[in-house]
Structure 1
C-alpha cells in the first residue's frame, strides 16, 4: 500500500487503484508506521509524500519484491507442462502487430497455456504490472513512464519500428521508393489533436526535427479513420509500421529515407525478478518471433 500511495500521490487515488476505501489504506499505513516506529508519510499540498524513512522502506520493498518474483519463477520451473495463465498487456498497434500473432502462435504450440491479452496504453500497462494484473507488458517509452534503471522493472528492447508516410494512391509521392519528411512539408496533414495520444505528439516532434510545422487539416486518432481520410485525398499522415488500416483503401505506404528515418522504440517490461519465469520467457520469445516475421516482409524499410 505504501508503494502505491507513493506512486499515486494521494491516499484517495491509491485506494481507488487498490479497490479499497481511503480509510482502510490510511489505517494500514498508520499501523505500519506504528510497528516500525517511524513516520512514513507527510503532507505535500493536497496530497502526501513519503518521508525519508518511507522512501528507504520502499527501496527495500522493491528489492524484496524482486526476490519474491525470482522465487516464483524458480518454483514455476518445477511445474509440469506449460499451464497458464500468461497475461499480456499492450497498446493498440503492439497488439495487432506483435501480441496477437505471438498469442496465436502460443495457442498452437502450447494448447494448455491460457494467454490473456489486454489493450491498454503504456502508462496503464506499467500500473497493471505493479498491481499484479498483467505478467508481461509491451510498452513504448512515454513521459511519466519508468526510467530504464527503475528498480521495480526489467525493460528489454523488442523492436525499433520505423514510421511510414501514408499518402493517397494517386499522390505524386506514392511513386517514390522513399521520401523525406520535408518532402511533405507543404501537404495537408492528418494528425490527432494534442493530448489525445502519444502518437500525435510524436508526429509533431518529428516534423519539427525535419524543419517544418505540419499544416494539420484533419484530426483523427483511430487508424481506420486516418486510412479513410488519406484514401479520399484529404491529406497525408505519418504512421508506425505496425499500424494497419482496412484492406482495399486507395493508400500507399512509402518508406521514409534513412537520413531522417523516424523510429519508435518498443520494449518488453516485466516485474524485476520475474523474467526467469518460464511462462514469461515463453511469451517474450513468441514476441521476438513475431518481430522477425514483420521484418521479413517486403514493405519493411531495409534502410532501418
Structure 2
C-alpha cells in the first residue's frame, strides 16, 4: 500500500525542483524529506532519485509514478467534493489569490458579490504573484487563483491544475497628455520606436508582453527606466521621462497628466482562472468562477 504522504513529498520535489525546496515548502528538514522518498522507493521496489551533479533528479520510474500521483490527487479532490456535497448554497471558506490588478479589479468585487449572495460563504483573499499562486494551489493553501498566462506557467495539460481563459487585457500606449500621439484615437507602436521607454522590471510577467509587442512592431525599445508598479510607471510618464505600455485593467492615479492611446494589433495579456485539478466543481469555487466570468467582460472597455 502506497503512503500518500510520501507520494506528496515526491510530488513536491517534482514541483519545486529540489529536495531542499520541497522540504522547505512542506516544513520538513531536507533529510526528513529524503527519508520519505527513500521509504517510498523501498515500498515500491524501484529507484525514485538518482545523482545529478551535486544534486539529484527524478528517475524515469519516478516520472511515471508522478503521472499517476497527479491523477490520484485530482480524484481525491473529487472524492472530497462527493462526500461533502449537500446540494445547498455555497458555504464555508473560499481562499483566493491573485496579482495586484486581479485582486483590485476582479477578486475584491467578486468577494463583495459572494458575501451578498451567499451569506454562509466566507472569502479570504491573498495578493500573490504568478509563480507563488501555483505554489499555493499545489500546497492546498488556496482554492482559486487569477493569474497571467506566461511562458513559465505549468502547461495547460498539467493535470495538477485546471487553467481556464478569463479575459484578454489590452495594453495601451501611455504618453504625456501634451505628447504628439496623445491626440490620436489609435496608434501603431512603430510610431513610438524612437521614444525613451519605461518597462516593467525584468522579473515582471508583463515584461515579455511589452517587449514582444514592440518586437512585433519592428523595433526594440530603448528602455531607460524600469518599474514594478503601474502607477509608478504612469508617474514617470507624467514627468515626460518616457512612454510605456500599460494594461487597461491597471487603475492609474486620477488626474495624472497622461493619456492612454489604443494600439493597432491589439497587444494584450491573457488572464486565467486556476484551481487544483478536480477543484473547480466545489460549490464555493464554482460560485466564484461564475461571478468572475460575469464580471470579467465589464472590466475592459
TM-score bracket, normalised by the shorter chain, equals over 0.9
TM-score (norm 1): 0.91
2:74 to 66, 76, 95: 66
- Aligned match of 1:8: 16
Contact 2:90–2:287 (CA under 8 A) maintained in structure 1: no
1:287 to 289, 292, 298: 292
For residues 192 and 145 of structure 1, what CA distance do their matches in structure 2 show? 19
- Aligned match of 2:212: 205
- Aligned match of 2:228: 221
Aligned residues: 293
Consecutive unaligned residues of structure 2, counting only runs of 5 or more, are 1-8
Q: Secondary structure at the match of 1:219?
A: strand
More strand by share: 2
Q: Secondary structure at the match of 2:157?
A: coil
Contact 2:147–2:272 (CA under 8 A) maintained in structure 1: yes
- Aligned match of 1:134: 142
TM-score (norm 2): 0.92
- Aligned match of 1:271: 276
The 5-angstrom pairing of residues 152-171 of structure 1 reads: 152-171=160-179
Contact 1:230–1:237 (CA under 8 A) maintained in structure 2: yes
For residues 54 and 108 of structure 2, what CA distance do their matches in structure 1 show? 42
- Aligned match of 1:250: 257
- Aligned match of 2:245: 238
Contact 2:209–2:268 (CA under 8 A) maintained in structure 1: no
For residues 217 and 29 of structure 1, what CA distance do their matches in structure 2 show? 49
Write out per-residue CA displacement over residues 61-115 of structure 1, whole angstroms, 9 at most, x where no aligned residue.
Answer: 1111111111222334316442221111111221122112211221222233111
Q: Secondary structure at the match of 2:274?
A: strand
After superposition, the CA RMSD in angstroms is: 1.5
1:150 to 143, 158, 177: 158
